[in-house]
Amino acid sequence: MNNDSSFGYIRSMMRTATSRGWMACAINMRGQGGVELTTPRAYNAGFTGDLRGVILQLEKRLVRSTTTERRSGRRRSDTRGNANENKNKNENENDATKSANPTNPDNNNDGYDDDDDVIHQGGPIFLLGYSLGANIITKYLGEESLHGTLPKCIAGGAAMGNPLHIHSGSIAFPWNMVLAAGIKRSILQNYKTLKQFREPGYQTAVKKALMSPTIAQLDDTFSRYLIRNEGKPPYEMKLGYDGGGEEYWRDASSHRYVAHVSVPLLKISAQDDFLVFGQFAKKLNYCLENPNVIVVKTRCGGHLGWQESPPPSPSGNCDNKGRGLFGGSGSWSDVAVADFIEALLQIRGEDREEKKKKKRMMERVVGGYYHDVDDGGDDDESTTIRNEGHALNNSYSPRQPKILSRL
């Protein structure tokens, strides 16, 4: 809450990710990170529209980048493989014909080969959120998974210090006043934009929010003017909670959505987290109902404070595991999340290879004959395939991806 990409724990996690060869992108909420607020609505715990827009943009950029790289590689391969000018000319004419034909399978903009799995399009992308951000990504994953609209590029996520149940009235003194002070500071920083909004009662609500001593009172005062989105496609934006703070807190609570998450999701919370663990523990059963969710409870760590100081790396410098000069990435959770993502990538690769293996087996079928197909593997991976010009009877059953059981 009120933090941005300049904070240490965000930069530490991004450093760990990039040290493993991944691209890292941090999201600054509306009006945060020194970026001027350009709308009369700031961010809140329940609005997933901004995250949804960022993911769609990243997916498009990654697909475009992948397409460019593969086309460049294809051109280089064609150049090396040409033996003479006539062959070059014929291939160029064929390429021109393919480009002019919109139905040609090679003339697509998906950025990968025909035999590639569609789940790898534009990614994969893994989402990571801290505290309020953890609540937002959990809510987003649940909304999209529930209605079958989760982008194929999303492969998993991690939620650190997620309260699950949002209710500002449960925050004890003095943190209820500290958090309120942070929000009021954000309001003052963006007051130049907020004061231009002339909706009836809005300016009065801003002044009352600035005078509210606790975050619960501030939420209740300002909830009628918060931005929100529908929980079903097309996730249209709406304004305000007529029921006040209680309606806002209920809508923002991610425990109502976590049971629907359809991709692997890691949740880490510390038992001595004075801010959110109490609410998290009350709604833990919603996480345990979903086989896609892994819950990790640590004995210590406070609120997002999993600092560590392990032995230094052999090289003395930052290695490919994100360990720094004095050992450690700065936070135990950084390495834990990175290892989780790495395991998922490995499993996805195994499943992808198995899919290609099945496809190769199917290509060995010739119509009108019997073929015994045995790839030399386990007995359950051998099959007899029969095709007599009618229905194909294939008893081959590939190993289904049971990701969490294999981590």
Write phi, then psi, for 191 (nearest 5 degrees).
-65, -30
Q: Which residue type, as a one-letter code, is found at position 394?
A: N
Which residues lie closer than 8 Å to 36 by C-beta, 6 or more apart?
A: 190, 192, 193
Q: How many CB atoms lie within 10 A of CB 327?
A: 13
pLDDT > 70 in the chain, percent = 70
Residue 26: CA count within 13 A, CB half-sphere: 19
| DSSP 8-state code for residue 377 | S
Q: How many CB atoms lie within 10 A of CB 256?
A: 19
Closest CA to 255 of 381, 138, 404: 138
| Averaged pLDDT of the chain | 78
| Per-residue confidence (pLDDT) for residue 220, from 0 to 100 | 94
Q: Which residue type, as a one-letter code, is found at position 175?
A: W
Who has greater pLDDT, 70 or 120? 70
pLDDT at residue 114 tops 60: no
Q: How many residues does this entry show for the chain?
A: 407
Per residue in 9-48, pLDDT tens? 899 999 999 999 999 999 999 888 888 888 888 899 999 9
Lowest mean pLDDT among 75-89, 134-148, 391-405: 391-405
pLDDT at residue 375 tops 60: no
Identify whether the C-beta of residue 173 lies closer than 8 Å to the C-beta of residue 217.
no
pLDDT at residue 368 tops 50: no
Burial of residue 50, with CB atoms counted within 10 A of its CB: 0-12 exposed, 13-18 middle, 19 or more buried: middle
Instruction: Note if the bond before 234 is cis, omega within 30 degrees.
Output: yes
pLDDT at residue 391 tops 50: no
Per residue in 158-192, pLDDT tens? 999 999 999 999 898 999 999 999 999 999 988 88
Identify whether the C-beta of residue 32 lies closer than 8 Å to the C-beta of residue 132.
no
Q: How many CB atoms lie within 10 A of CB 154?
A: 23
| Per-residue confidence (pLDDT) for residue 116, from 0 to 100 | 46
pLDDT band at 315 (very low <50, low <70, confident <90, very high): low
pLDDT band at 122 (very low <50, low <70, confident <90, very high): low
| DSSP 8-state code for residue 35 | P
pLDDT at residue 404 tops 80: no
Identify whether the C-beta of residue 269 lies closer than 8 Å to the C-beta of residue 299.
no
Q: Which residue type, as a one-letter code, is found at position 365?
A: V
Lowest mean pLDDT among 77-86, 227-236, 242-251, 283-292: 77-86
Q: How far apart are the first and last CA of the chain?
A: 31
pLDDT at residue 308 tops 70: yes
d(CA 253, CA 225) in angstroms, rounded, equals: 18
Q: What would the mean pLDDT of 53-65 be, rounded to a whole number?
A: 85
pLDDT at residue 339 tops 90: yes
Write phi, then psi, for 297 (nearest 5 degrees).
-110, 125
Who has greater pLDDT, 356 or 326? 356
d(CA 132, CA 186) in angstroms, rounded, equals: 15
Q: What would the mean pLDDT of 225-229 be, rounded to a whole number?
A: 93
| Per-residue confidence (pLDDT) for residue 269, from 0 to 100 | 95
Q: What would the mean pLDDT of 343-348 be, rounded to a whole number?
A: 92
Identify whether the C-beta of residue 190 lies closer than 8 Å to the C-beta of residue 36.
yes
| Per-residue confidence (pLDDT) for residue 209, from 0 to 100 | 93
Note the pTM of the prediction, 2 decimals.
0.76
- Label each residue of 261-313 as H, E or C: CCCCEEEEEECCCCCCHHHHHHCHHHHHCCCCEEEEEECCCCCCCCCCCCCCC
